[in-house]
Amino acid sequence: MQSENGFYGQYGGSYIPEILYSSQQQILHAFEEAKNDPEFLAELNKQWQQFSGRPTPLTFCANLTEHFGGAQIYLKREDLNHSGAHKMNNVIGQGLLVKRMGKKRVIAETGAGQHGIATALVAARLGLECTIYMGAKDIERQYPNVFWMKQLGATVVPVTTGAQTLRDALDEALRDWSSSHEESHYLIGTSCGCAPFPEMVAYFQSVIGNEVREQSVAQFGQFPDRLYACVGGGSNACGLFLPFLDDKDVEMVGVEAGGKGLELGEHSIRLSHNLGQPGIAQGFATMFLQDDAGQLQETHSIAAGLDYVGVSPIIAHLAEIGRIKMTYAMDDDVIAACTLLLKKEGIIPALESSHALAGAFKDAPNLPKDSKIVINLSGRGDKDIFNVAKAVQDETFPQFLTDYLASYPTNHADHKEQNA
């Protein structure tokens, strides 16, 4: 979706410290040139295919469709990307842009670690130095991802300011970029931040919706009646929705994280029920969860990838004008949706994507039997093994952890911090 000077309605823009002006302009121009360069696009498509395994399938779910007795349910299988999530589409695109700009280092923020891993994978492949900022609390909660980032050669920096989560990691990545802008690129993981990041990330993610356009016509002879995607930062939703923006009959539903409840601090709902307010922070204008004095607030979701205080300005705008309908799913509904997909279709969804499932499952029984819905399965759930085990109260898991710990060699303590 084309912005107007970086703005989507009242959202977006570029509100960054003056020191970053030149680097921001450089990205703006490099992206404009690259997306009009057939050679760049050919390389992008080649890497998407050969490194990430695109195109990803559109999978019909016969059992779920029968279970709900309403709409015919299809899943867009972004979980089958290399790295297990749609994040790969964007990091491949920006990684190639970094090479094109001649920069040698990438900086990224990560919450759950999915974008951190995707960035580390691409940095390794493209021979780029890689620094990942991650909240110290997220590092504790998501250590397996940190482990892989380090194994891939990335430097993972724990962020100990503020709430020590994604928002703080993003602030710290911006601070790094302020000092390292000459040789470093800030590889933002979602369609947020200063212009042109929202537009650029949405552009690279639009491969999702573009494939669905072809696949839906090929598989069932029409465009889908309705699309569902979870909305954290908003990149997988932008990717699925934007290519259908002009197809007025295609309805779009974005599902935010309802978390544990609607009190401030318990959820990540920015766009429905007047819970978020317009604000300008972290480089752009959007709807933020904030108090009446304009201080940004804590968020919660069972899915760390949805736990962000702001949201893509593109999604904020499309929700405001009514093109996208916004809803939310509570933590409990999300676990139920995840479990149902496992049992009925043999697919392990990420907890982020399970929000989209939960939103769609609520509507499916009430939709006509000949209607077709496509749910973006943005990532696979292997990473959520600890959280899901806890949520379903698996009895054997604690014993497994105890046994594993008992057999873990601890005499190499001084090697542990090597890449920290």
Partner 1 sequence: MSQLADFIHQKRQQKPILSMTHVVYGYPSVEESLSWMERLMQEGVDFIEVQFPFSDPVADGPSIVAACHKALEQKLDVETCLSQLGKLAKNFPDSRIVLMSYLNPMYRFGLDKLAKRAAEENILGLILPDLPIEQAATYQAACKANGIDPVWLVTPATPKDRLAMLAGQASGFLYCVARSGVTGHSVHEGKSKVNVLDDYLAEIKTHASAPMGVGFGLRHREQIEQLTGKADIAILGSALLDAYNNGGQDQGIKLIKDLFH
Q: Which chain residues interact with partner 1 by CB under 8 A? A: 13-23, 25, 161-162, 167, 171, 174-176, 178-182, 277, 279-283, 288, 290, 292-297
User: Between residues 179 and 274, which has the closer beta carbon with respect to partner 1?
Assistant: 179
Q: Which is nearer to partner 1, 87 or 270 (CB)?
A: 270
Least gap, CB of 272 to partner 1 (angstroms): 21
Minimal distance, residue 408 CB to partner 1, in Å:
32
User: CB of residue 106 vs partner 1: minimum separation in angstroms?
Assistant: 16
What is the edge-to-edge ordering of all strands in the sheet holding 324-330?
Answer: 58-60, 72-77, 372-377, 226-230, 251-259, 324-330
Instruction: Sort strands 284-288 and 277-281 into parallel, antiparallel or unpaired.
Output: antiparallel
273 catalytically annotated: no
286 within 8 A of 316, measured Cβ to Cβ:
yes
Q: How far is the CB of 163 from partner 1 (least distance, A)?
A: 9
Six-digit token string for 102? 């001649």
Handedness of CA 12, 17, 21, 27 (dihedral sign): negative
Say whether 61 is catalytic. yes
Q: Which is nearer to partner 1, 86 or 181 (CB)?
A: 181
Q: Output the smallest distance, CB 293 to partner 1, in A.
A: 6
Cβ distance to partner 1 smaller for residue 47 or 131: 131
**Structure tokens given for 75:** 């899943």
Cα gap 284→195, rounded to integer Å: 8
Catalytic residue among 86, 267, 300, 317: 86
- The distance of closest approach from Cβ of residue 172 to partner 1 in the complex, given in angstroms and rounded to an integer, is 8
DSSP string, 43-96: HHHHHHHHTT-PSPPEEE-HHHHHHHTSSEEEEEEGGGSGGGBTHHHHHHHHHH
Q: CA 358, 226, 35, 181 torsion: positive or negative?
A: negative
Sheet holding 277-281, edge to edge: 7-8, 11-12, 284-288, 277-281
Query: Is the Cβ of residue 164 or residue 215 nearer to partner 1 in the bound state?
Result: 164
What pairing do the DSSP bridges indicate for beta strands 7-8 and 11-12?
antiparallel
- Please, what's the largest Cα pairwise distance for the chain? 63
Name which of 66 and 291 has its Cβ closer to partner 1: 291
Spatial neighbors of 297 by CB under 8 A, at least 6 apart, are 264, 265, 289, 290, 291, 309
Q: List the catalytic residues.
A: 61, 86
